[in-house]
Amino acid sequence: MNSPARLAAAALLVIVLAGCQAETSESTDSSSAPPAASPPAGQPADVPPPLMPAMPLPENAVDNAVAALDGLVEDLMTKSGIPGMAVAVVHGSDTVYAKGFGVKNVDLPDTEDNRIDADTVFQLASLSKSISATVVAQQIGRNGLSWDTPIVSKLPWFALSDPVVTPMVTVGDMFSHRSGLPDHAGDKLEELGYDRRYILERLSDFPLDPFRISYAYTNFGLTAGAEAVAANAGKSWEDLTREALLAPLGMTSTSYQFSDWVARPDRAVGHIHVDGHYAPQYVRDPQPQSPAGGVSSSVNDMTRWLAFVLADGEHDGKQLVDPKALLPALTPQVVSDRAPEPAARSGTYGYGFNVGTTSGARMQLSHSGAFELGAGTNFLILPSADVAIVALTNATPSGVAETLTAEFADLVQFGKIREDWWGLYRKPFEQMQQPVGELVGKQPPPNAAPPQPLSSYVGVYRNDFWGPATVTERDGALELTLGPKGVYQLKPWDGDVFTFSFVSENAPPGTVSQATFDGDRLTLEYFDDEGYGEFFR
């Protein structure tokens, strides 16, 4: 990839290195200097060290890796049992692979209409963050916007819990998850049915870790950054993305509107993993956090975006995004995963992109998307090899998408798969599927005390963060209503302790939560984040 931005960067590095060498030669006897080292075989001699990988690519690296994809996909689908998958590869400006596998819905017959192809639309989940970052890059420079624009300059109502941090936190801080907000702050409010504005206003209730030196993944933090960009443009985020990026790239099957995905006739429905199989039992509506997880797209559309990123913001000969605005998103902004030992490589995050270094000393850009209710996605870009791959699945995340892209990257760089990627990825994803709650898998005590008369528990219990919890008696049982959508059946456990079981994006199947009554106080275990689980009648 020989974009103007990369050529300019290379030229600058050559000038800097040449200057250092000239300064050294003036104070060193040239006759005693060691001979200059030759670049590795197959590497251009004029590439400065920071751009030179440790080893050249194998011959026909991308072609050979692409040729192996059919077998890799079929093997992973057999191992995992996922219902469907779509995969595409871009090399330079060309789509060299785009295929679908499996079915959109396991409850429907295995007919042609139910089979996945390269135009089938999937929910992307958090892969959306990287697309959103390129939208922001496209807006940089318009109406004074930059990655360093403070959120409150565009959203005057926005605040964090620290009045010192609030005026300083920027669009870039939110897109790099370094605001200090705790991990996934606000996600359970979305689960209860609250809208975007309500959740963003509640972010001021969360305690903060140290500003700009802490990394914690926050969907609604990034959404706040995107909302500031949209406000700067005087449009909704959904309209801005369509006009600024999706339409110019010709991504006609891509949208930030959940309703658009629902309306697509060619869409892959989400499947949750429960009781050893995948079933389309739930629908994930991510509209409140649309900038962070609300995109739906096909792999054919995604090839247009990947080619655009590989070309440093250029599409069909037109520069849609200033490379200087895009580059910060693709370079490290915060340490996201600290190395456990000196020999290990730390993980870093840019603006909406994971940024790392492979064992072949090549920079790698990537991001995963994960919906417990039925989506697992990943893309991976190797800029120095001018190649990118995207894998979309319609099932609870299991590591399939990440395994495939990692295997492909190995084949491109080394000509062989050097790690058991499936073994490495499967285990942490299995942990993500574990139910939550102290009483998971337990039975009530054999000498459990009976509850008090159910009418004594009825009432409205106030909580300024979660909103009122309403307990009612219905057909001889207690029902708990919380937020616009949260309705839970309370079952007696032991005395004043009840339980409720449910499945949500943050609560895998088998989750059990305690509801403990103590006079006019109700404590909900599942909602006791940061000690906010107490409600008062």
**Model confidence at 472: pLDDT above 60:** yes
Alpha-carbon distance of 56 to 38, in angstroms, equals 13
Average pLDDT, stretch 46-59?
82
Alpha-carbon distance of 321 to 92, in angstroms, equals 18
**Among candidate residues 256, 8, 227, 260, the one with its CA nearest the CA of residue 139:** 227
E-state strands within 372-450: 375-382, 387-393
**Model confidence at 216: pLDDT above 60:** yes
**Model confidence at 8: pLDDT above 80:** no
Give backbone dihedrals phi and psi of 513, rounded to 5 degrees, phi first: -120, 145
| Weakest mean pLDDT among 5-14, 453-462, 472-481, 517-526 | 5-14
Alpha-carbon distance of 511 to 157, in angstroms, equals 36
pLDDT of residue 31: 37
Using a cut of 0.95, tell me whether the model's pTM lies above it.
no
Alpha-carbon distance of 114 to 344, in angstroms, equals 45
Tokens 């005087």 -> residue: 234
Handedness of CA 293, 295, 298, 301 (dihedral sign): negative
CA angle 114, 115, 120 (to 5 degrees): 95
Alpha-carbon distance of 351 to 330, in angstroms, equals 7
| Weakest mean pLDDT among 3-12, 270-279, 366-375 | 3-12
